[in-house]
């Protein structure tokens, strides 16, 4: 078992910055989850507030990403530099997609899910949040125990598979509803953007595994 492999000060500083970055990312995704609940309950004032908050979080995450990339690029003793940069760039895409998805949701005033379909949307976004939370746990574990970080990263894959299944069920259900073609296109685009967040989390988990395996070697 490899415990506390990051003895280099530059490596530890970079990992601390990664943790700050992923905190902003997961907060944005959780706000999106709450925004979905507001949408289901037709709370548009709250939706507008969350839209602004997610946009602000995306900007904050982007600022941390730029500082992080600068730190990694000039760290003379830092190994796996390219892998660490890749992780930062991929994780930042999650915040980008949360922002883009929230914008799409803010334009779905003419329709909202009800009954069983509303519950499907709740479960759908819940598994997306779980995917990003597991990614955060894996990143947090990297400076402590790389073997455990690998195991947690594998759990991101499991959550992403749940998201895929729910996405297909929701889209199939939507096609069988009596709604206008314009609304259907907008809702399906929104659903696919939500699903993409879990896909990106899976890509970031792969990047975590690459870094961790490099430390095991």
The yes-or-no verdict on residue 128 having pLDDT over 70 is yes
C-alpha to C-alpha distance for 133 and 139, rounded to whole angstroms: 10
Identify whether 99 is part of a domain.
yes
Give residue 99's domain range: 9-216
Question: Residue 118 has which token pair?
Answer: 């509303």
Rounded alpha-carbon distances, angstroms, from residue 132 to 15, 45, 165: 17, 27, 17
The yes-or-no verdict on residue 111 having pLDDT over 50 is yes
Identify whether 202 is part of a domain.
yes
The yes-or-no verdict on residue 97 having pLDDT over 90 is yes
The yes-or-no verdict on residue 78 having pLDDT over 70 is no
Identify whether 42 is part of a domain.
yes
The residues, any chain, with a CB within 8 Å of residue 162's CB and separated by 6 or more, are 127, 130
Read off the CATH number of the domain in which 28 is found.
1.20.58.220
Q: How many domains does the chain have?
A: 1
Provide the pLDDT for residue 7.
53
C-alpha to C-alpha distance for 177 and 37, rounded to whole angstroms: 21
Identify whether 4 is part of a domain.
no
Residues in the chain: 217
Question: Model-level pTM greater than 0.85?
Answer: yes
**pLDDT band, very low/low/confident/very high, at 216 (cuts 50, 70, 90):** confident
């Amino acid at each position: 078992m490899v415990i506390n492999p990051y003895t280099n000060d530059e490596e530890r500083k970079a990992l601390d910055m990664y943790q700050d970055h992923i905190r902003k990312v997961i907060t944005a995704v959780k706000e999106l989850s709450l925004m979905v609940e507001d949408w289901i309950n037709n709370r548009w004032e709250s939706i507008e507030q969350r839209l602004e908050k997610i946009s602000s979080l995306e900007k904050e995450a982007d600022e941390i990403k730029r500082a992080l990339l600068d730190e990694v690029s000039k760290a003379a003793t830092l190994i796996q530099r390219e892998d660490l940069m890749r992780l930062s760039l991929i994780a930042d895409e999650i915040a980008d997609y949360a922002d883009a998805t929230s914008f799409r949701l803010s334009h779905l005033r003419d329709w909202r899910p009800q009954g069983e379909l509303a519950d499907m949307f709740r479960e759908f976004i819940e598994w997306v949040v779980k995917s990003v939370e597991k990614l955060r746990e894996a990143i947090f574990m990297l400076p402590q125990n790389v073997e455990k970080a690998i195991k947690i990263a594998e759990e991101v894959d499991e959550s992403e598979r749940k998201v895929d299944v729910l996405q297909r069920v929701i889209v199939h259900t939507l096609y069988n509803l009596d709604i206008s073609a314009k609304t259907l296109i907008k809702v399906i685009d929104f659903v696919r953007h939500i699903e993409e967040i879990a896909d990106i989390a899976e890509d970031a988990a792969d990047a975590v595994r690459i870094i961790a395996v490099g430390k095991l070697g």
